[in-house]
């Protein structure tokens, strides 16, 4: 007998909508199995159940969507912001993509490569700190770090009981008073690069994610997006 999950989780795993949205649909009486309305989001359900319907329509197989966006500064990585700020979904205005969710996040002041998908399992493999791909950032700072400072970034710091460090850090180019660094992370914690640099009194002027694993941002214009090829998606998140 196959493992069973809560109905809301099954809908999410099949890329229909977010788990939170699925739970609300179920409580609203919009979801049925075999014609019987289910109102419990935790109702035990097989992931392969074929008799699920939403609003009276059978649940069709959902094609996997994997895409990349060049996120500009000033947008929040969330579906809806309680403070009314513009979100990354503004970049998809007019696109008929169905439900998609960010894979990881970039804070409001950060920019660059951000992935989206309707496949939670694919996304979980990418964001897994143990097995997920490295993330590469180009960071403009208000100082010119020397070799000792770069080594300290890689040695890391303790912040709120968590160890923060860079997998690698090097200077890309320098000006009179600032520099661009390339910093690679093998895990992604909230504001990790900003917190790490702040510990050494270095201010971030710009932060751009330029690659996730082998997938590079390249020449994709700001606010623009494109679908990943099947090969790109597979390399990012191998089974």
Active-site residue numbers?
Answer: 107
CA distances 67 to 42, 182, 216, 224, Å, are 30, 24, 13, 11
Which residue, among 145, 71, 81, 151, has the nearest Cα to 111 in the 3D structure?
71
Residue pair 53/45 in contact by the 8 Å Cβ criterion: no
Cite the DSSP H helix spans in the chain.
7-13, 19-27, 120-127, 147-155, 192-198, 230-236
Residue pair 40/57 in contact by the 8 Å Cβ criterion: no
Residue pair 210/136 in contact by the 8 Å Cβ criterion: yes
Helices and strands counted in the chain (H then E): 6, 17
Read off the tokens for 223.
């606010």
SS3 category, 150: helix
* Cα–Cα distance for residue pair 211/133, rounded to 1 Å: 10
* Cα–Cα distance for residue pair 109/72, rounded to 1 Å: 8
User: Which residue is it, tokens 């002027």?
Assistant: 205
CA angle in degrees (0–180, nearest 5) for 159-160-162: 65
């Amino acid at each position: 007998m196959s493992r069973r999950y809560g109905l809301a989780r099954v809908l999410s795993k099949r890329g229909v909508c977010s788990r939170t949205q699925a739970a609300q649909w179920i409580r609203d009486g919009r979801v049925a199995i075999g014609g019987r309305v289910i109102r419990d989001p935790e109702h035990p359900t097989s992931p392969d159940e074929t008799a699920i319907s939403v609003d009276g329509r059978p649940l069709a197989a959902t094609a996997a969507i994997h895409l990349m966006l060049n996120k500009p500064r000033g947008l929040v990585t969330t579906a809806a912001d309680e403070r009314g700020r513009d979100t990354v979904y503004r970049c998809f205005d007019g696109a008929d993509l169905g439900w998609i969710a960010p894979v990881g996040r970039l804070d409001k002041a950060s920019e660059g490569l951000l992935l989206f998908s309707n496949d939670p399992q694919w996304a979980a493999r990418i964001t897994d700190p143990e097995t997920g791909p490295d993330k590469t950032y180009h960071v403009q700072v208000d100082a010119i770090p020397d070799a000792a400072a770069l080594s300290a970034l890689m040695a890391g710091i303790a912040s709120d009981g968590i160890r923060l460090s860079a997998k690698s850090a090097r200077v890309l180019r320098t000006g009179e008073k600032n520099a661009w660094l390339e910093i690679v992370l093998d895990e992604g914690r909230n504001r990790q690069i900003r917190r790490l640099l702040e510990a050494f009194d270095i201010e971030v002027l710009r932060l751009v994610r330029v690659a996730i694993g082998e997938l590079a941002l390249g020449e994709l214009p700001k606010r623009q997006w494109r679908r990943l090829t099947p090969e790109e998606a597979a390399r990012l998140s191998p089974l």
